[in-house]
Amino acid sequence: MVSAVTVAGVGMTPFGRGGEQTAREMFGEAAAEAFDDADVPRDAVEEVFYGNYMGEFAEQQGHQGPLAAEAAGVSAPATRVESACASSGVAVRFGYEKIRSGQADVVLVGGAERMTNLSTPDATQALAAAADALWEIRAGVTFPGAYSLMANRYFHEFGGGREDLAHIAVKNHENALENDLAQFQKSIDVDDVLDAMTVCSPFGLFDCSPMSNGAAAAVLVSDEFATEHGLDAPVSIRGAGQHSDHFALADRASIPRAPAAERAAEMAYEDAGLGPDDVDTAEVHDCFTIAEVLALEALGFYEPGEGISAATNGETTIDGEFPVNLSGGLKAKGHPVGATGCAQISEMTKLLRGDHVNSSALEDATAGLTHNAGGTVASCVVHILEVER
C-alpha cells in the first residue's frame, strides 16, 4: 500500500447565483469551514494552492495566490493555479504532491469563482477563452457548442440519443434534492429535459451546467501529522493523476474520447494501487450531460459506447450498483469553474466519511474517485479517495 495524504478538513460555500460576495470572500468562508472541520491551526499551513479561472474577466483581479492566502488568514507561500474548469482539481494535486514528496506536512488547497456578475453572453465569452483562440474561438465555438459537437459525434459513432442524456440530468437533479449546498434543489423528469429550450443541439437547458458562484477548500496533511495530532480524519487521498491532450478538438484522434482523462486515471489507479473495480462511487465532471458519459468510459467504468445507457438503465442512480455524482454533479450542484475540482473533493470526503445527505447510499463503500476536466478535456485531473472504516 502506498503512503497517503489525509484530508483533515473540507469546506464549501453554497453554490448558486445569489450573493454579492467576491471570490476572495467566498474562499475565506470555505477555508474557515475547512480549518474548523480539520481542527488544524492556520499557522500550521506551509503552502497554499488556489484555483481560479476567470478572475481577470469577472473581477478584474489577477495575482490571486497571496490574495487567497490572506482571505484564508494564512501566511505561507501561495500560488494561483489555472487550468480552466480543472483549476482547483490541479490545486489539490499540487498540494497532494507537496505532501507526498515530503516538502510539507500541511497544505491549504481550494478555489473560487464568481461568474454571475457577468451576463450569460459575457461569461460565455470568458469561458470560451479556455478553447483554442486561433482555431476554435474565432470560428464561433463556445463550450455548449464544443460539447454538442462531441455529443453528436458520440451518437454517430456509438448510438444513443437525447433521451439517454436526459436521464443523466434527471439523476443528477434528483441527487441534489436534499443537498443544501446545491444550486438546484429541484426535481425534473425526462420530458422537462426534452421540452426545455434548446441551447445548442442536441443540448437543452437541462443538459448544461449553470453559471455559478462559489468556493471550496480542503486542509491536506501528511499521515504522520494526522497521527501526531490525533486528528479524527478517516478519509485520505490514495492516488492522483493529471494529463493533457491536443488543445483543439479538430486535432484529436477521436472527438468522443478523452485520452487526457484516460491517462490521468491510469496514473491515479497506479498511484493508489487500485483499479476501476475497486471504486464504489465517482464524482465526475458533467459540465454537459455527454461529459458524464465520456468520463465514465475514460475512467474505465464502462467500455466505449456503453456509458451512454448507464443512467437510463439505473446503474448510476443513487440506488444503482455504481452511483455517480451523488452530490448532484456540476449539473445540479452548480459549476463555479475554479471551485469545482476542490468541491468534488469536499463532497466525496463527506460522502465517504458519512456526513453527507447521500452517504446512506455508500454504507459499505471504501473508495471514491473524482474527475475534473479543463476545456474540452484538454486537461484532466483524477483523485482516488479512501475511507478507513
Size of the site for ligand COA (CB under 6 A): 17
Q: Burial code of 166-192, b = ≥16 C-beta within 10 A, e = fewer? A: bbbbbbbbbbbbebebbbbeeebebeb
85 is catalytic: yes
Min separation Cβ 181 and ligand COA, Å: 16
Cβ-based nearer residue to ligand COA, 5 or 181:
181
User: Contact between 254 and ligand COA (CB under 6 A)?
Assistant: no
Task: Please report, for residues 72, 162, 211, 353, the alpha-carbon distance to residue 114 in angstroms, rounded to integers and kept in the order given.
Answer: 17, 31, 9, 29
For the bound state, the minimum distance from the C-beta of residue 51 to ligand COA, rounded and expressed in Å, comes to 14
Neighbouring-strand partners of residue 369: 282, 384
Closer residue to ligand COA, CB minimum distance, 94 or 143: 143
**205 touches ligand COA by CB under 6 A:** yes
182 binding ligand COA? (CB under 6 A):
no
Our finding on whether 177 is near ligand COA (CB under 6 A) is no
Contact 245, 16 (CB under 8 A): no
- The DSSP code sequence of 342-378 is HHHHHHHHHHHHT-STTGGGGTT--EEEEEEEETTTT
> What's the CA angle centered on 208, arms 86 and 382, to 5 degrees?
25
Least CB distance from residue 6 to ligand COA, whole Å? 31
- Residue 166 makes contact with ligand COA by CB under 6 A: no
DSSP 241: E
Sign for the pseudo-dihedral over CA of 103, 106, 108, 109? positive
Dihedral pair phi/psi, residue 383, rounded to 5°: -125, 145
Q: Which residues, at least 6 apart from 44, have a Cβ–Cβ distance to it below 8 Å?
A: 105, 106, 225
Which residues between 69 and 88 bind ligand COA (CB under 6 A)? 85
Q: Which stretch binds ligand COA (CB under 6 A): 42-50, 209-217, 233-241, 351-359?
A: 209-217
Which residue among 335, 356, 371, 383 is the active-site one? 335
How many Cβ atoms sit within 10 Å of the Cβ of residue 77? 13
Please report whether residue 194 would count as binding ligand COA according to CB under 6 A.
no
Nearer CB in complex with ligand COA: 85/99: 85
Q: State the Cα–Cα distance between residues 252 and 225, nearest whole angstrom.
A: 44
Site stretch for ligand COA (CB under 6 A), options 18-26, 52-60, 204-212, 361-369: 204-212
Does 285 qualify as catalytic in the annotation?
no
Residue 335 makes contact with ligand COA by CB under 6 A: yes
- What residues line the site for ligand COA (CB under 6 A)? 85, 120, 124, 127, 143-144, 184, 199, 205-206, 208-211, 287, 335, 337
Residues with catalytic function: 85, 335
